[in-house]
């Protein structure tokens, strides 16, 4: 999609690069992440409103440290360097960067030395977030020092004439008190950006783009029932209406009554043609006696493609396939040495487009999850679907540890349903990024009534996160956990023990498999 203005973020391997993009989009300005190897010819052609150079784990004076074309500083485009970006600007334009005797990690206080546009509305002495082991020790010609910290004498530098700025700290992280204000000052007062990145603008431009691309051709949409595919289906419906066919495959690993709820929601609220394929028996037969998580994923992925392809072939005149791929799935990521670039792409239905000669439409390939939710709200998708936690493609197959049977799936479905219902009742569901139950491949001794039992263990998981890349376990009130445990054990036949997972990511992942 073409944008009238965009902020180009060049990535040098920082753990915070995605956060820079998110912060800028929250300010309602479109931003896009690319490798630091992004060709200078493309930058000239696209003429972004500004360029932001991210942080990174290396030192600018190391061999093979990631770099940019020196031409970038001659384009007349405003530039903001963050951490490694500041040091790169300094080194490239004739300054000196050296190893710091006192490294700075965590909180520091910003001492403003001179007025600067970047500091409009920013308190002197405010908290900033540092993460560096190098310092600029000699400024490039034409630059002045605007702020320092105890261990960073050149913490903010600027060249107003060339509109090139550098900050040693991370304005994109929540710990930097006036970080958002500093970004706003750069984007509005220095770059002259407008706030035109809104859900309604995205919807309007996408509808126009889809109409032009598709014409009168038929389009198939892979409808899992999650937020991304549901919003994509409604957006496509608005653009091409009767040309759209949604295919929902129930692989038998959905949550309790999930497929029925998805079909009902679409039938009640939208006149969209949906084909519902119940392939649960086929999937279960192929998963019989399989315990290895990777094998489970491959079997489910391959079987899903087979089932979807069979159904899609009934619409042989279709030329396009819609998927809900998100921006984090396709962002170019940089190897630490900056010498190789890998592009990570997740396709919901694997190699299907190539096999069926379908052209892909991925309306959300530029969006983060929270942006898709905002667009769903703008489109009127019921809140119960908008606010749903992420759900893995293989479904409960990766939450039933060990062998998968209908009986074990049903035990998990009931336990999970009680858990999620209680989160809703306690009004804490929306405070959690993802919550779910897991059926463990062990049995333990228990006592029910006067009898000894030897039954299943359910583990509960709940994490807080902004994007799923890192996560922390949610601190439940002990009364809530006691209540949920009692309800699951007393209501779900075959369960006699409930445990709570208090692992963060990293080192653990959010899902157990």
d(CA 477, CA 507): 24
Q: For residue 467, report the phi and psi dihedrals to the nearest 5 degrees.
A: -145, 5
Q: Which of 342, 379, 80 is nearest to 202 (CA)?
A: 379
In the numeric block, the tokens 């050149």 are attached to: 154
Q: Which of 124, 121, 122 is nearest to 112 (CA)?
A: 124
Q: Which of 329, 353, 357 is nearest to 343 (CA)?
A: 329
∠167-95-164 over CA atoms, to 5°? 45
Annotated active-site residue in 34, 36, 132, 170: 170
In the numeric block, the tokens 């003429």 are attached to: 47
Q: Which of 210, 194, 208 is nearest to 4 (CA)?
A: 194
d(CA 357, CA 316): 10
d(CA 92, CA 154): 16
Helix, coil or strand: residue 482: helix
* Residues 6+ positions from 425 with CB-CB distance below 8 Å: none
- Report, in this order, helix, strand and coil percent for the chain, each rounded to 5: 35, 25, 40
d(CA 446, CA 462): 25
* Residues 6+ positions from 62 with CB-CB distance below 8 Å: none
Q: For residue 168, report the phi and psi dihedrals to the nearest 5 degrees.
A: -75, -20
Q: Is 246 a catalytic residue?
A: no
In the numeric block, the tokens 């999620």 are attached to: 420
d(CA 95, CA 143): 10
Enter the tokens of residue 456: 């299943």
Helix (H), strand (E) at residue 446: strand 434-448
Q: Is 347 a catalytic residue?
A: no
Annotated active-site residue in 34, 36, 83, 258: 83
Annotated active-site residue in 32, 104, 172, 513: 172
Helix, coil or strand: residue 7: strand
188 CA to centre of own chain: 26
Q: Is 172 a catalytic residue?
A: yes
Q: Which residues are catalytic?
A: 83, 170, 172
């Amino acid at each position: 999609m073409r944008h009238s203005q965009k902020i180009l973020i060049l990535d040098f391997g920082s753990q915070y690069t995605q956060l820079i993009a998110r912060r800028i989009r929250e300010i309602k300005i479109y931003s896009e992440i690319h490798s630091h190897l992004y060709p200078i010819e493309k930058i000239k052609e696209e003429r972004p409103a500004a360029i932001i150079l991210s942080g990174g784990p290396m030192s600018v004076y190391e061999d093979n440290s990631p770099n940019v074309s020196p031409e970038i500083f001659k384009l007349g485009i405003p530039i903001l360097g963050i951490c490694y970006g500041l040091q790169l600007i300094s080194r490239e334009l004739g300054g000196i960067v050296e190893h710091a005797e006192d490294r700075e990690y965590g909180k520091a206080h910003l001492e403003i030395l001179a007025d600067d546009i970047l500091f409009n509305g920013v308190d002197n002495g405010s908290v900033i977030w540092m993460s560096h082991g190098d310092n600029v020790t000699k400024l490039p010609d034409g630059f002045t020092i605007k702020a320092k910290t105890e261990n960073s004498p050149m913490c903010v530098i600027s060249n107003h004439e060339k509109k090139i700025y550098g900050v040693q700290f991370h304005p994109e992280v929540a710990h930097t008190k006036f970080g958002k204000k500093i970004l706003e000052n750069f984007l509005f007062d220095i770059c002259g950006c407008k706030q035109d990145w809104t859900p309604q603008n995205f919807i309007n431009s996408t509808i126009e783009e889809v109409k032009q691309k598709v014409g009168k051709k038929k389009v198939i949409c892979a409808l899992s029932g999650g937020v991304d595919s549901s919003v994509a289906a409604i957006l496509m419906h608005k653009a091409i209406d009767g040309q759209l066919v949604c295919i929902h495959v129930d692989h038998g690993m959905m949550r309790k009554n999930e497929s029925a709820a998805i079909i009902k929601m679409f039938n009640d609220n939208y006149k969209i043609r949906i084909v519902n394929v119940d392939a649960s028996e086929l999937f279960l037969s192929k998963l019989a006696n399989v315990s290895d998580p990777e094998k489970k994923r491959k079997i489910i992925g391959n079987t899903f493609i087979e089932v979807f392809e069979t159904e899609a072939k009934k619409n042989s005149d279709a030329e396009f396939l819609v998927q809900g791929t998100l921006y984090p799935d396709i962002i170019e990521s940089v190897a630490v040495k900056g010498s190789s670039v890998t592009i990570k792409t997740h396709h919901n239905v694997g190699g299907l487009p190539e096999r069926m000669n379908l052209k892909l439409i991925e309306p959300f390939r530029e969006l983060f999850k929270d942006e898709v939710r905002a667009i769903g709200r703008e489109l009127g998708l019921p809140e119960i679907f908008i606010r749903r936690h992420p759900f893995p493609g293989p479904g409960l197959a990766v939450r039933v540890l060990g062998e998968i049977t209908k009986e074990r799936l049903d035990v998990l479905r009931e336990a999970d349903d009680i858990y999620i219902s209680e989160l809703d009742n306690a009004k804490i569901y929306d405070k959690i990024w993802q919550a779910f139950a897991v059926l463990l491949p062990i049995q333990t001794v228990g006592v029910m009534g006067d009898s000894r039992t030897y039954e299943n263990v359910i583990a509960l998981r709940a994490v807080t996160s902004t994007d799923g890349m890192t996560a922390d376990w949610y601190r439940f009130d002990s009364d809530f956990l006691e209540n949920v445990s009692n309800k699951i054990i007393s209501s779900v036949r075959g369960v006699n023990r409930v445990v709570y997972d208090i692992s963060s990511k990293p080192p653990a992942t959010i899902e157990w498999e």
